[in-house]
Amino acid sequence: MVKLAEALAQRADATRRVEQLRARVVGSARYQEGETPAEDAGALLAEAAAVLDDLESLIRRINRTNAAALMTEGGTLTDALARRDVLRLRHAVITAAADAASGRDQRGTVRQLRSELKILSALPVAELRAQADVLAREIRETDMRIQRTNWEVDLLD
């Protein structure tokens, strides 16, 4: 029986294969009169279509498995994936806010004269950094639970 983690690796391989085939098709789609193309673009397109059909089937099975697989902590694997995605977005927003409030990556804001306007932070940078650290830990923990489940669950048909 194939484990979910193995199917995820197969999905990544198939996605890379499609991208390689796409690049080869584009490179062989036109050629100069009197010469032969480097590769048969039509055959490459047919190969890409077959890989894409297999990929669609694999993705459907992965999605069904994610929706049915129960985590030991409660909820489905799909729930955990949604949680991790939102945690990553939340972390990105908090980190960006802390960076902006601290003046990171803002050139030309250094005061040279006392008469120049002083730039102040509208947000508590230290608190935001602490929140970002907590979110990063939650992301790591959630990801570890997801990975563990990926290796424990069999892929559904």
Same domain for 143 and 93, yes or no, is yes
Structural domain count of the chain: 2
Task: Considering only residues 108 and 29, tell me which one the structure prediction assigns the higher pLDDT.
Answer: 29
- Provide mean pLDDT across the span 115-135: 92
For 43-65, write each residue's pLDDT tens digit: 999 999 999 999 999 999 999 99
- Provide mean pLDDT across the span 110-120: 73
Q: How many CA atoms lie within 13 A of 19 on its CB side?
A: 6
Q: Which domain holds residue 6?
A: 1-68
Q: Give the per-residue pLDDT at 130.
A: 98
- Final residue of a domain: which of 11, 38, 68? 68
Q: Give the per-residue pLDDT at 118.
A: 83
Domain assignment present for residue 30? The answer is: yes
Same domain for 143 and 77, yes or no, is yes
Distance CA 122, CA 76 (A): 39
Q: Give the per-residue pLDDT at 105.
A: 64
The strand pairing partners of 28, in sequence order, are none
- Final residue of a domain: which of 27, 49, 68? 68
Percent of the chain having pLDDT more than 90?
85
Domain assignment present for residue 157? The answer is: no
Domain assignment present for residue 78? The answer is: yes
- Would you place residue 136 in the very low, low, confident or very high pLDDT band (cuts 50, 70, 90)? very high
Domain assignment present for residue 156? The answer is: no
For the chain, give the mean pLDDT: 93
pLDDT over 80 (residue 114): no
Q: Give the per-residue pLDDT at 109.
A: 53
At position 155, the amino acid (one-letter code) is L
Same domain for 25 and 81, yes or no, is no
- Final residue of a domain: which of 24, 48, 68? 68
Q: Which residues contact 3 (CB under 8 A, 6 or more apart)?
A: 150, 151, 152, 153, 154, 155
**In this structure, is the dihedral angle defined by the CA atoms of residues 50, 52, 56 and 61, taken in order, positive or negative?**
positive
Same domain for 62 and 79, yes or no, is no
